[in-house]
Structure 1
Amino acid sequence: MPEALIDAATLRNRLDEHTPTVILDVRWKLGDDRGHEHYVDGHIPGALYADINQDLAAPASAAAGRHALPAIDDLTQSLQRWGIHPDSTVVVYDDNASQSAARAWWLLRWAGIGDVRVLDGGLSAWRDAGNRLETGEQTAADTGTATAVAGALPTWDIDAVARRGPDVLLVDARAGERYRGETEPVDPRPGHIPGALSAPTADNVDADGRFLPADRLRSRFTGLGIGDAKEVVVYCGSGVTAAHELLALELAGFEAALFPGSWSQWSADAERPAAVGENPR
């Protein structure tokens, strides 16, 4: 299995053998902000809770988006509170087909943490393997020494996205109905950035929320024309599920950058154009 992923059996073996592993529970869903409550009710033994809004993003704003990248000093504090050291292996998981866990995977990698893995299939895979959960709050055994350093993975800002040339492929990772502008549950305007290609993250996983094999992911993205682009930039609603697309692209062997502000930032600026319907333009 690619190093970006870890399966439940391997994680269980690491815990049984007391192999140092930092586990982060990143449960969060759009419309359900009770991730911490779910964590307290039951989580993988030893897991610490990572809050999407407080730990993995800056405060929401129209100017920067709903989940802008956190300040680097704030992220360093979180890394150290979680007991992360420069050589730590970090495993992240959720209960939503890894859509929020992938944000933690991408953000920690962006901040310079080299060994970060997503539990493939998330909490369901752990339970289905017959593993137990524990309840209550957990804290790290020690204070970490890792320091976040921005920029280990590429990002594009809103102006760079607007200026992109024809050899740059912009990918919209949201559900198709949001891309087409049929519904918009949270952001100021419906639609998508003109020229963006629709590639919903739901198509990256199987019915159990596990990532498709690398060859199938590669076939999917090649069929969308991603292999022909000089550069690929991915966005979603607020930069969370776009990280899921970036993980799938990495598994498939493609490189891509994140537009962190995503549609929440773009649509909040009335001077930025929007397109609706199936046609990218």
Structure 2
Amino acid sequence: MTAVVAGALLTGCEGGLPGDAKASDSAAAPTAPGSGGGTSPLANPEGTKPGLAAITSEQDRAAARRLIEKVSTKGRGPRTGYARDRFGYAWMDSADGVPLARNGCDTRNDLIRRDGLNLRFRAGSDCVVIAMTLHDPYTGTTIEWRKENASEVQVDHVVPLSYSWQMGSSRWPLNKRKQFANDVLNLIPVEGRANSAKRDSGPASWLPPNKRIRCSYAVRVSQVAVKYGLPVTAADKRTMLTQCGG
């Protein structure tokens, strides 16, 4: 199931990393309409860089198709037994094996600090963000987010937890599921309405409204699937290839 961060989007973590408060002085970089902003997923295999920029060159689209081809396929199994807590409590800072873990700031706030611009932090904290500018790759829009309207931005699991459960994560050990749920490679802050519309859909059933970043989205799904040895449905793989010109 896609991770929904509603009224409590940015509550919790008090710690932080020295110097992070300087991010509040950063200026929003110009972004081409619909480009997604940030970094191409092909140049961001660990997910530690911000955003999800469009893949436009034929050379890069060919590289994207080669990556997608590595993803295996199988039928989607039942959702029986799925629950969010099967992946640990939401936004833990203690999931092993993922970037940014155990840094004193929970996963949710790590993502906001990664992707947000013009960050404003809660008084006394270098971690908890109360306002920011977000270039949402899914819709191609820029969101001026404030904590008072927390649900306007939600954190999406690119490969939804429920989808992964049906494709095989139900048989993983708990530690691997915790890693999957908190891996920044699989997480993007986006417009809340778009995230809610996605639910636990695979690419054959839902793609970002912003058509320019659909190939990038397919690449990110593939990066997560390959990293975790997780298959997708045959229909999802066909859709992913199509987005990158296959």
Provide TM-score, normalisation by structure 1: 0.23
Could you tell me the TM-score, scaled by structure 2's length? 0.25
Higher RCO (C-alpha under 8 Å, 6+ residues apart): 2
